[in-house]
Amino acid sequence: MTPLASYRHLVQLAGPTYVLVAFVGRLPLAMSQLGTLLLVSTATGSYGLGGLSAGALAVANAVGAPVAGTLADRVGQRPVVLVQSLLGAAGLVTLVSVVGAGAPAAAVVAAAAATGLVLPQVGPLARVRWRPLTRGTGVHQRRLVDAAFSYEGAADEASFALGPALVGLSVALYSPSGALLLAAALLAVFGSAFALDPSARVAHAPDLAAAPGRLLSSALLVLVGAQLSIGMLFGATQTGATVLATAAGQPGVAGLVHATLGVGSAVAGLATAYLPERIGHERRALVAAYALLVLALPLLLVDSPATAAPVVLVLGLAVAPYMIAVFSLAERAVPVARVGAAMTVLASATGLGYAVGSTLAGRFADASGATAAFGVTVGATVLAAVLMTTQQGRLRRATRPSVPEVDAAPPLVEHHA
């Protein structure tokens, strides 16, 4: 089965409505971090407080996501994601109100953290649904699951391109508060729709949930470190772009600059489905890590949004292949009943990395400008390269083979109209 045929088959299995809902449902999280950074920085005049608030949102999300993922494994995604979507939307509205009222810094950071705690991780939970959705496809299942993870990586990156772009557009047309209010509306509608989609039923197997198996292992910890590094890259790059755009008198442009990272990454993510199956995911992660390092170095030379945008675009070409390999390794390194928890743990590591990257870059930028912020980006890629170089054997040994589920039963979700 060719990659293009695999993508078509995936859409047939899940339905185009699900694909749309699952994509738009992940935009609010992509918008919330940059939206919080711009909202707080613009209102207070402090990049440090803006970075701290965005970091608090990300850290709290990193804490809450594994709890939600574990609950989803045990009781199903539908009730968990529905509650998260409604509470997250309310939290974003509350954050706008707190900042607009001129509340103290501690209250702003607390509101950001409370919001992040309940925001759903739609992308990781969507990954969990694909293996059950492809059950009954026999020998084609491995190719379909690989294609699904390639698509999800591209969708994540596209959301982190479109999300910041929507923030930038909202800031230009209205204000940073408008960006977060838009995110709240999208979350209430599409997050809830993702929760209620019939595909949510396939991600929960009561018989497996009763004996879920062990989640944590040395291999998963390596993958957590891998996602921590990519999160640092996101946070530092976003902060550096914000500093450049604000210095140029166009803070809304920061979202457009950072969006180019997702554009390049989304294109590369879709293309990874064309890689031969014989190239293991641990090897793909290694090559992508070194590509990240090489492509991040030119950020140390940029001095304006116009020069940063093409560099960030090219850097994005290595992001999705790296993340797709990491998530694919995790999906095969944990028991089937713990995949939801594993996916959200990795998402949490990404959020924690974002918090570290944005906070460090914000402090460095306050003292030395955008170049210092981008220095954190480069440091994150060094961490990724070292980790993947030293842990190849561990990852190869820990990853279980992807055995096709040769099952005569039809897919567990009917085709959508």
The predicted-structure confidence for 95-142, as pLDDT tens digits, reads as follows 999 998 888 999 999 999 999 999 998 988 998 888 888 887 776 777
- For residues 89 and 191, what is the distance between their CA atoms, to the nearest angstrom? 9
| Cα distance between residue 31 and residue 142, in whole Å | 33
Give the pLDDT confidence score for residue 164 in this predicted structure: 77
- How does pLDDT run across 239-271, given as a tens digit for each residue? 898 888 888 887 778 777 877 887 888 888 888
Taking the C-alpha atoms of residue 72 and residue 82, their distance in angstroms, rounded to an integer, is 11
Residues of the chain with pLDDT under 50: 402-417
pLDDT value at residue 203: 66
Q: Residue 245 in contact with residue 383, Cβ under 8 Å?
A: no
Tokens of 262: 């997702």
165-169 LR contacts (CB < 8 Å, sep 24+):
165/255, 165/256, 165/259, 166/27, 166/31, 166/255, 167/31, 167/34, 167/35, 167/38, 167/252, 167/255, 168/252, 168/253, 168/254, 168/255, 168/256, 168/259, 169/252, 169/255
pLDDT of residue 230: 94
Helix axes 339-368, 305-333, angle to 10 degrees: 150
What local confidence, expressed as pLDDT, does residue 84 receive? 96
| pTM for this predicted structure | 0.77
Q: DSSP letter string over 305-337? A: HHHHHHHHHHHHHHHHHHHHHHHHHHHHHS-GG
DSSP state of 139: G
- Angle, alpha carbons 190-191-197 (nearest 5°): 80
Which residues contact residue 104 at a Cβ distance below 8 angstroms, ignoring those fewer than 6 apart?
A: none
- Alpha carbon of residue 205 to chain centroid: 25
Residue 136: burial class (beta carbons within 10 Å; 0-12, 13-18, 19+): middle
Tens of pLDDT, residue by residue over 167-176, are: 878 888 888 8
CB 155 within 8 A of CB 123: yes
Question: Which residue from 266, 318, 274, 320 is spatially nearest to 293, judged by alpha carbons?
Answer: 318
The CATH T-level fold of domain 3-205+213-398 is: Growth Hormone; Chain: A; (1.20.1250)
